[in-house]
Structure 1
Amino acid sequence: MLKTLTSVIILIFALNGLTAQQEFNIRLRTAIDGYYSESHNVITRDGYILEVHRIPFRRFRIKENDSKNPKPVVFLMHGLQGSSLSYIYLGPERALAYLLAEAGYDVWMGNARGGLNSRRHIFLNPDTNAERFFNYSYEDIALKDVASTIDYILKVTRQSQLHYVGHSQGGTAFFVLNSLRPEFNTKIKSAHLLAGVGYMEHFPNKILNAIAFGTNLLYSVALEQGIVEVLGPRDANSLNEEEYNKSPAYSLLLTVIDVIVSIHKQLEMVTPASLKQYAHFGQNIRAKSFRRFSYDPLENFIRYGSLSAPEYDLSKISVNITMHYTVNDHLLDERDVLSMASVIPNAKARKITRETYNHNDFVLAPDSKELLYDYILEELDKNR
C-alpha cells in the first residue's frame, strides 16, 4: 500500500514538471515519508527567487479540501544554514511539519536566499556575481525573504493571518521583521520561537566571543579576497592555500571559516549562507547587543540617520509569542531570553526540561516531540 501510494505521488510530481534537482530531493523525501507536497517560487522585491515548500494534507492523502472551513496556516522558518528539511528531518510521527499536517494545519516551510533551494536570482548569478549576490545579512532575510513569503502564503491561502515557528536565525528574522515593520504583527496570529537568537549581552560561546572582537577586520579581509559565501562552492576548502601565510589576518580568517565549516558539516542538512550573516552576528556578539548591521560612521548616518547602528526595538512586537529555550544552548543564554521576554509585551519564556538539550536539538532530537512539539500543537489548537 505504502509503495503504491508513494509511486503515485512521485508520478504526480513528475507530471507537474520537476526541473531543479534540489526541489526534487525535498519533494521526493516527503513522498517517501508518505506526504504530498508542493514547491512554490517566491520572488523578493530585490530579485531573489526563493523555493518555498508546502504540505497541505495529512499522510497518504492528495486531496483534502473544505472551502467552508479552510485550514489554519503555519509557517516554519529555519535557522542559519538550515533549510525546509529541518522540519521534516525526524520523519513521520516525529518531525514538526508532519505532526502539524496530521493535526489539520496547512504547513509551509521557508528557504532563505543563498541556500540550496533558493540559490537563484532574476539576473544575478551566485557564482559569477557572488560579491553582489551574497551581499546580505539576516536583516535582508527578515525584511525581504520572510516578509515576501508571508505575504505570498496569505495570498495563496486567502487568509489574513498565519502562525509562525522559527528556529535560531528564524527567530532572529521574526524579531527584526516585526520590530522594523510593525504592520506584520497583524499578519501573525501567534509565534513559537525555538532558541530565537536576539539579545547577546550574555552570549555563552567563549570561542565565538573571542573571534567576534575581530569581526570587522576579518570581514574586510574576506571581501578583499572575494570570500563572501560559507559552505558554498567557494568555501574554505577551495581557497588558494598559497595565500595562507600572506598576512596574520588572512590566516586567521581561514581558520575561522574552517571552524564554521567543521561545525556545520557535523549536521546533515546544511546549505550555503553569506559571510555577511556571520559578520552581523559577530558585530552583535562583540557589542553585546542586538542591532542593525554596522558600516562606517558615514554610511551608518546615510542609512540610519545616526553614526552608529541602532538597536532593534523589540517593544514594538505585539504578537503572542512563546520563546522556547534551553540552559545547554551554546548560542543563546537564558538571561538574554528572559530579558527579551520582559521587553516584548505579549511574550513568555518556556524552558525545555531536559538539561542536556542543545541548540540544534530543537530540530534534530527525536525527543523534541515530547519535550516541545506536543506543547506547540496544544497551544496552536487553542488558537486555531
Structure 2
Amino acid sequence: MIRGTFLISLLMCGYSLPAGREEKSALFEVPEIIISNGYQAERHHVITPDGYILEMHRIPFGRHQTTSEVRRPAVFLMHGLLSASNSYIALGPEYSISYNLADAGFDVWMGNARGNRLSRRHTTLDPDVDKSEFFNFSWEEIGMIDVAAMIDYVLEFTGEEKLHYVGHSQGGTSFLVLASMRPEYNEKLSSVNLLAGVGYMNHFPNKNLGATALLTDVIYVAALAVGFVEVYPPDFDRSLPWGKTAGTDRCTGNLETQYMCDLIGVRHLVRENESVSGTSDFLDIFEGHDIGGAALKQIAHYGQNIRDKAFRRWNYGLIQNLRIYGKVAPPAYDLSLITANVTMHYTVNDILLDERDVLAMAADMPNTVVRKVARDTFLHEDFVLAKDVKELVTDFMIESMLQIEHM
C-alpha cells in the first residue's frame, strides 16, 4: 500500500513529497513545483572532490518576488535518510520550512546527498554498472564531503561569509560529523537548527530495531553478497509491495535481504493509522510521492551505532580498524569540537531519538541549547510533515535567525 511504503521510509528519517501533477515525478520537478507555488527557483550542481555530482535547489526570493534590494542571508537545509530536497516544500507555501524562510527574507538552498535520485551521478562511475563502488559510502561521507562542498558552493555563489544550517534527522547527523571531523566549518555557520538530529545512541528507543541491529554486520555482509547495495533504486515500483523492483524482490526473495529489510524497519514500522502525522489530509499530501533513495551502508552505519550504543565511525572489524584507525574500535565523533551556535529541537514521542541522548549531546557541545517541541504527540517525521511545525518550530527558528542577522 502507498501508506505502508511511505511510512517505512518516513520513519527511517526521510520522506518525500506530493506529485503535484499526474504522471510526473515530483522528485525531479522540485524547481517546477516551487515556481508553480509562486516562487523563483534554480537548479545548481556541485561536484565533490571524489567525483559525485550533487543537485541543489534554490529559492532566492519570497513569494511573488523576482528581485530584492536588501541583503538576503543564506540558509542551507539538509534532508533525512531516504529523502531529498523535496522534504522541505512538501506542505506547500503556508507550512513548508523552505517557503517560510524565503518569505521571511532568506536566500534558501536545499541540498541532496550523494546516491539519492537527484544526486545519482558521478564524473567517472556509473551507479548502475559500478554499483558496489558508487554506493560504498555512509552518512560520514555525506557530512564530511557532500555537506562541506555544498556549504562552500553556497558561500562562494552568494558572497556571504556565513550561512544558517537546518538539518532533519540524518541531516543533523551529517552536521555533527562535519563540525566534529572538520571543525573549521563551525566558523562558516551563523546558526544551526537540528530537527531530531540523530547522533548518540545510548538510549535508542525502538526495541524492535534495536534487536535487529545486533546482527547488523552479518546482515550487511550477506546483503552485499547478493548485490543489495542501494535502497529504493530507480526501478523501484511503488505499485508493488515494499522492496520489489522490476523483476527483483528485495524483501522476501533472499533470506539475507529479508533480514536487512528488518533492519530498515519494514515489519516494525508499517502502521495502518493514517492520522499519525497530525494533519487532516495526510494521504492527500503524499499521494504519488517519490522516495529519494540511499546507500544501504547509511542504514548499516546507524545499525552499528544502535548496536554499540555509540556515535562513532564505520566499524570495519578489528583488523581493518587497526589498519585504518590505529585502534581496534572505531573512534567516536568528538562533539566537544562543535563550537557553532546549535539549537537541538526534539520531541518526547520520537521512536528514533531519545530525549536523554539529545541532552547528552547538548552537554558535550559548548554552544548548544535544547528545545522540546510543545506537543507531546509530535513525531520524528512531523518536523517535515505536520502543519503545526510552523507554529511549534519554524517560527522560532526564523525569529532567532532574524535576531542574529539584525533584521
TM-score > 0.5 by shorter chain: yes
CA RMSD of aligned residues (A): 2.4
Letter matched to residue 30 of structure 1: I
Q: Does the residue aligned with 1:127 lie in a helix, a strand or coil? A: coil
Give the Cα–Cα distance (whole angstroms) in 1 for the partners of residues 74 and 248 of structure 2. Answer: 47
Relative to structure 1, the CA distance from residue 242 to residue 37 in structure 2 (aligned partners, 3 Å threshold; closer, same or farther) is closer
Which structure has more relative contact order (CA 8 Å, sep 6+)? It is 2
Conserved? CA contact 1:74–1:108, under 8 Å: yes
Q: How big is each residue's C-alpha offset from its partner over 1:29-69, in whole Å with a ceiling of 9 and x where there is no partner? A: 001111111010000011000000110111112222x3xx5
1:74-107 per-residue CA deviation (whole Å, 9 max, x = no partner) reads: 1011111111111111111211111111111111
Match of 1:51 among 46, 52, 55: 55
Amino-acid identity (%): 50
Bigger radius of gyration among the two:
1
Q: How does 1:243-258 map to 2 (within 5 A)?
A: 249=256, 251-253=258-260, 255-256=262-263
Spell out the pairing of 1:13-28 with structure 2 (5 A cutoff): 25-28=29-32
AA paired with 1:292?
Answer: R
Q: Which residue of 2 aligns with 1:363?
A: 384
- Residue number among 301, 306, 309 corresponding to 1:288 in the alignment: 309
Q: Secondary structure at the match of 2:95?
A: coil
Pair 99,258 (structure 1): closer, same or farther in 2 beyond 3 Å: closer
2:98 aligned residue: 97
Q: Secondary structure at the match of 2:244?
A: helix
The aligned counterpart of 2:225 is 224
Give the 3-state SS of the residue equivalent to 1:372 in structure 2. Answer: helix
Q: Which amino acid aligns with 2:67?
A: K
Structure 1 residue identity aligned to 2:45:
N
Change (3 A) 1:32 1:324: same
Alignment of 1:327 onto 2:314: no
Report if the CA contact (8 A) 1:163-1:190 is conserved.
yes
Are residues 261 and 80 of structure 1, via their aligned partners in 2, closer, same or farther at CA, if it must alter by over 3 Å? Answer: farther
Q: Which runs of 5+ in 2 are unaligned?
A: 1-23, 237-242, 273-282
**What is the match of residue 74 of structure 2?**
73
Letter in 2 for 1:283: Q
The alpha carbon displacement at 1:70 in A equals 2.7
Aligned in 2, Cα 1:156/1:260: closer, same or farther, shift over 3 Å? farther
Mapped partners of 2:79, 2:92: distance in 1: 16
CA distance in 2, matches of 1:23, 1:212: 30
The 5-angstrom pairing of residues 78-227 of structure 1 reads: 78-227=79-228
* TM-aligned CA deviation for residue 367 of structure 1: 0.6
Per the TM alignment, residue 284 of structure 1 is displaced from its structure 2 partner at its CA by 0.2
What is aligned with 2:39?
35
> Structure 1-normalised TM-score?
0.89
Q: By how many angstroms is 1:23 displaced? A: 7.4
User: What one-letter code is carried by the residue in structure 1 that aligns with 2:175?
Assistant: F
- The one-letter amino acid of 2:146's match is D
Q: Hey, what's the Cα distance between the residues in 2 that align with 1:264 and 1:152?
A: 40
TM-score after normalising by structure 2: 0.84
Partner of 1:9: none
TM-superposed CA distance for 1:257, in Å, is 5.3
The aligned amino acid for 1:44 is: T
Task: State the 1:157 CA deviation.
Answer: 0.6
In the TM superposition, residue 117 of structure 1 has moved relative to its aligned partner by 1.0
1:225-269 CA-to-partner distances (Å, cap 9, x unmatched) read 0100111146631375699677x5454335545718975999635
Partners of 1:242 and 1:373 in 2: how far apart? Answer: 37
Kept in 2: contact 1:231–1:261 (CA 8 A): no
Does structure 1 retain, via aligned residues, the 8 Å contact 2:321–2:327?
yes
Distance 1:300 1:367, change over 3 A: same
Amino acid at match of 1:187: K
The alignment covers a number of residue pairs equal to 361
Kept in 1, the 8 Å contact 2:140–2:174? The answer is yes
Would you say the 8 A contact 1:289–1:311 is kept in 2?
A: yes
Question: Partners of 1:360 and 1:290 in 2: how far apart?
Answer: 21
1:337 correspondence with 2:358? yes
Could you say what secondary structure the match of 1:164 adopts? Answer: strand
Instruction: Tell me the SS of whatever aligns to 1:366.
Output: coil
